[in-house]
Structure 1
Amino acid sequence: MKTGLYVLLGLVALLVVLVQLLAAKRDRDAAAAFPPTGQIIDVNGVDVHVEQMGQGPDLVLIHGASGNTRDFTFAFADMVKDRYRVTILDRPGLGWTEQIAPEHKAAWSTAHANPTEQARLLKAATDQLGVKSPIVLGHSFGGIVALAWAVEFDDLAGVVSVAGVANPWPGDLDWTYQVNGSAWGGGLMVPVLSAFVPATYIDNVVSNIFAPQAAPEGYIDHVGPALILRRVSMRANARQVNWLRPFVVDLSQRYGDIDVPVEVVHGDADTIVPLDVHSAKLPGQIAGANVTVLPGAGHMPQHTHPAAVIDAIDRVAARAGLR
């Protein structure tokens, strides 16, 4: 009996080691294939990955869940860098920005950086780079970070929310967030998924995010989806999303404090961050907030309807007296 138990425990230990070795290899492969494309700066002891380009009024771009700076450098940044100085940052734990606190890096934990903490870090990074009175644009999860930035600070020109999270949603998130965002899921499930999820899974996820439109040719190759399959990024993303709703409940009560121009661009076919749950309510919460609804558009307007997003940026610039 004891011999059989020892054999079983030995096999389990061997399996755990194998999974971690395979996940570590994927981490290394992702890092080699998709290295930092900008500069990494030290912000109060935290490495922050940032790219800066162009000239003109300052425009800060903040990516969504599972994303990184490459989402904006695929095409969008090139469309606006002739009229704005564009600063693009990786959020904590994603791309090449470190987690803010040591406990956020722990495998068996739910500790994570909430949107206000993220906004403080990114604001400190932009300050260090000489950014002044920026227009802060956030996509998806980046939308709630942009709104937290506007609630927390008053030295920005305005906010552009693109398919952004803004208000509490009914029901539960997908089970994968609930599992991977838990302490046991981060410790057990994330390494397994990191080691064994096939590349076709990424293709399907990207297709769902862009639906009903299609992802532009070359997008997946550019954006580096392997980066999100690293253990540290999977944990960071799952925790940030899974534990987001209570934060949104609290922050949404403070939207009346925002007194800068707010422009919103949102597709009415977005099933990831539904228009009616999130952006449609903002005009009643923020004085002067303007919502542009894109008929038939999904969750990625910065790629599928870039002109509408650029128009929203220009409107904030005009309203703020930057142009």
Structure 2
Amino acid sequence: MVTLLWTLLVILALLGAAHLWTRAITREAETLIPMAGTRLDLPGGAIHYVEAGSHDAPSLVLIHGLSGKLQHFTYAMMDDLARDHRVIALDRPGCGYSSPFDASAKGLSAQAEVIGMFLDRLEVQNPVLVGHSLGGALALAMALERPDKTAGMALLCPLTHPVDAVPEVFKPLEISGPRLRNFVAQTLYGPFGKLLRGRNLRLVFAPEPAPDDFMTRGGGLLALRPSAFLSSCADLQASAGSIEAQAGRYDTLTVPGAVLNAAGDEILDPVTQGRPMRQFGLGYEELDNRGHMIPITAPTECADFVRRIAAKCHAEGATSTGT
């Protein structure tokens, strides 16, 4: 009995220490990576975003992926694109410094509705949507729901179809029970995420090396906060539940665009994700010797791709309207 009591006390002490460490990680993340832009209030929450370039130039909207944040684009791509575009990079609902809304748990169409409402409030007209990973699925959802308000899509290593298995690095996000999920968020996820960050970054960036400054300049530390973990869990499960239905609608796509995949992507297989979109009228290109995180590891190639596709989409839109 005494041994059991001491064991319970040790466990409680360890969990208490983990909770305090989690709070310290959150403070560190928010100190090293403060809010970079503006929060726009909407019904149900607020979207955090940064903007660059001229309002008179064609618009690009940059949408990041699972467990991501707008720093995935501000890391290297955004300034390049802002030379000749109005560029808006946002934190998706529940990510970075954006509110979770209810959309995080309701699937792709619900998040697309929030982002669409955000763009309408900013009076962003006919943008080209640049979606990376899960952000690609959201760009497709917006193209399906708002074809008259979307000029085109430039998709980078996008999620487009159901996946057979969740990538190893995202396995912890499969926790479905809300109580267990919250317990893990408040105690274990941040400390283990920090201890295993080298291994996790290798999995996400493979076969390329992760930049040494990704956890700060790339916003990686923000993903270790409890709020980020909870939103990522909701994102993973909601997108898995809605991507199949969305894929069944691709034959109705009318918005032009193209996919840029990485041949070495170990998170989303180009064979089952990017390449099938050719049958639905999207262009397709592929980078050799690159992994999933091309907005960070191949920013010049990505920016050149986005610029070419955006010019083509805007030209097609001008022709169809007779302007």
Aligned counterpart, 1:78 = 79
Aligned counterpart, 1:190 = 185
Q: Does 1:90 align with 2:85?
A: no
Range moving further from structure 2, 220-229 or 297-306: 297-306
State the secondary structure of the residue aligned to 2:188. helix
Extract unaligned runs of 5+ from structure 1: 105-110
Aligned counterpart, 2:321 = none
* CA gap 1:179/1:141 in 2 versus in 1, 3 angstroms: closer
- Deviation of residue 298 (structure 1)? 1.1
Residues 113-152 of structure 1 mapped to structure 2, 5 A cutoff: 113-152=106-145
* CA gap 1:203/1:172 in 2 versus in 1, 3 angstroms: closer
Q: Does 1:204 align with 2:192?
A: no
- The count of aligned residue pairs is 312
Aligned counterparts of 1:145 and 1:211: Cα–Cα separation in 2: 24
Extract unaligned runs of 5+ from structure 2: 319-323
Normalising by structure 1, we get a TM-score of: 0.87
Residues 1-323 of structure 1 mapped to structure 2, 5 A cutoff: 16-55=15-54, 56-101=57-102, 112-154=105-147, 155-174=149-168, 176-177=171-172, 179-197=174-192, 199-216=194-211, 218-284=213-279, 286=280, 288-313=281-306, 314-321=308-315
Deviations 1:109-128 (A, max 9, x none): xx724222111111211222
Contact 2:77–2:300 (Cα < 8 Å) also in 1: no
- Deviation of residue 181 (structure 1)? 4.3
Q: Please tell me the residue identity of whatever aligns with 2:93.
A: P
State the secondary structure of the residue aligned to 1:221. coil
Aligned counterparts of 2:271 and 2:10: Cα–Cα separation in 1: 51
State the secondary structure of the residue aligned to 1:97. coil
Contact 1:264–1:312 (Cα < 8 Å) also in 2: no
Range moving further from structure 2, 206-215 or 144-153: 206-215
Aligned counterparts of 2:254 and 2:97: Cα–Cα separation in 1: 32
Aligned counterparts of 2:209 and 2:50: Cα–Cα separation in 1: 27
* CA gap 1:311/1:198 in 2 versus in 1, 3 angstroms: closer
Aligned counterparts of 1:292 and 1:320: Cα–Cα separation in 2: 19
- Deviation of residue 80 (structure 1)? 0.6
* CA gap 1:208/1:129 in 2 versus in 1, 3 angstroms: same
Q: Please tell me the residue identity of whatever aligns with 2:171.
A: T
Aligned counterpart, 1:107 = none
State the secondary structure of the residue aligned to 2:255. coil
Contact 1:179–1:185 (Cα < 8 Å) also in 2: no
State the secondary structure of the residue aligned to 1:272. coil
Normalising by structure 2, we get a TM-score of: 0.87
